[in-house]
Structures are given as structure tokens and as C-alpha cells.
Structure 1
Amino acid sequence: MKTLDHIAIFVADMDAGISFYRTLLGGDPIIAQVPELGIACAFFTDGKGVPIELVSFTGKGELAHGDVVVAIEVDDLDAAFAEYRAAGLKVYDQPPTENLPLRRGWITKKDGHGTIIELCQRGQIAAFIAIKRG
């Protein structure tokens, strides 16, 4: 089964993005720095609905302010990769990193009809957020 895991929005200025979404949604985000990927993340979640993640590049990146990632949760990443590749989609495998210890898949903006698609193993993003929350 495939379900919506979270939505990520690229922001040019993380502090300004956090301020805006704090006003819009309330609460404080869970922050994660991922220097090995050149990104910083801030997850807004109440633990009940779909998290909203803000992402900013701390280095260079090809994605721009306002770009959106739709993250799909799957039961088995390898099976999802095989299924989508068999359907002719280009799916990229991203291994875990030190500060983001989650294997994920990607369909690029070019191949995703203007939207970046992230494939996540069921439950891993929620577990990562819970660990960061402490």
C-alpha cells in the first residue's frame, strides 16, 4: 500500500520559512541539519496529520524556493523501485547518511511532471522525527 508520508517545501531562508509556518500552523518544528547532503530540515507535525517539512540548501542545489516534494510511504522500497522502473519511471536510490540515516528513493522534478517524488519506507520518517524530538 502507498500513502502520503509528508510534504516538503524548499525555502530560500529557513528562519523566515519557520516564522511563516509557525504562524500558519503553530508549534515549533523539529530541526535536522544534514551537512553531508548540504541541507537543513524543519518538520512541523503534531503527530496526527501529515508532517510538513521545510528544506533549505546550506550549499549549492538545483532546487529552488517553492519547489515541493511529495513523499510517498511504501511497504518495501526495493519492490517499489522495481514496480516503478518496470513502468518506465526513473527512480534513484539514495543511501542513508550519517545525519539522515534513512534510505530513500527519488523521482526527479523533470521525470515527475514538475514535482519531486520521494519514496520512503513505511514508518521511517515518523521514527526519525520522534528521535529528533527527543
Structure 2
Amino acid sequence: MAVADTPIHLTRAAHVGISVSDLDASIAFYRALTGNDPVVADETMHSVPFGRSQGLPTAKLRYATINLDNSLGIDLIQFQDPVGEPTRGAANRPGSMHLCFKVDDLDAVHRRMADAGYDFLGAPYTFLPGEVTPDAALGTKVAYFNDPDGTNLEIIQPQGGFAN
């Protein structure tokens, strides 16, 4: 795909949409993760034009939205028609994404999450000298886990000038 060099200036995110296989299970997961109730819960839509706007023949779906404290919404969308195949979105697969949650004390949050039964993909990690340029990220701590459908999620405790 060729894209012109003209800046478009899209600089503010409104929400992130995550396709899910079971809306109720995903609402429970994200409610427990964020502590926030959905602002939209179990809305439905059935529209051929909306489906076509997404490159699908139709769209019959249920969805919910959980807002984060910084006003970013997480839209959880269960397509009922057409039902899609799982992406199995490993971090290294082009087109996969991750959603990152900023925390003040990664070790404490990680411990609470592990005690609550969240499965992490690996141990928490701290960026070390020689691994990352520029040095602004040195000391930043991260840990990765998945939601029930395998969407990549991260918790991060930025350090120094790393404003992520």
C-alpha cells in the first residue's frame, strides 16, 4: 500500500477495539482488570452497510465499552455474523497489537495479578544498558499477559524520560 507523505495529524486516540469470542467472559475479564464497569454493556448491531465499511458482507454483533481513567475506551466486540477465526496474535506476528496499562509499581501490581490467577507470558523485565536506544527507557519495567482470546496486554512502569 502506497501512502502519501502528507501528514494527517491523527494524534488522539478515542478507543481501542478488541474482537472477542465471548462478550460476557471478556466483560468479566476487563472489569476485573480495570475495576471499571462498562459504560456500554451488551449493545447490539445488525447492519449490512456497517459490515461493508469494515470489509465484511454484513455485521451482526454485540459489544461493550469499558473506559479507562484517561478516557480511552476499550470496545469489546463479539461478531456473531460473520464469526471470525482467532488471530493467535503472538507479539512477533505482523499485524498483531498490544494494549499497555501504565502502573506506578509494577512489582506490586504483578504480584496482585499473579495472586489473582493472571498468567503472564514470562517474568517481569527491566530494560538494561546496551539493550535499548535512547537510554530514556533504562529501568523501565514491563510484563506481558493475554486476555481470554489471546490479545496481547502489557503493564509498564516507565522510568526516567520514558513517557509511555
TM-score if structure 1 supplies the norm length? Answer: 0.44
Tell me which structure has the larger Cα radius of gyration.
2
Structure with the bigger percentage of helix:
1
Bigger relative CO (Cα 8 Å, ≥ 6 apart): 1
TM-score if structure 2 supplies the norm length? Answer: 0.37
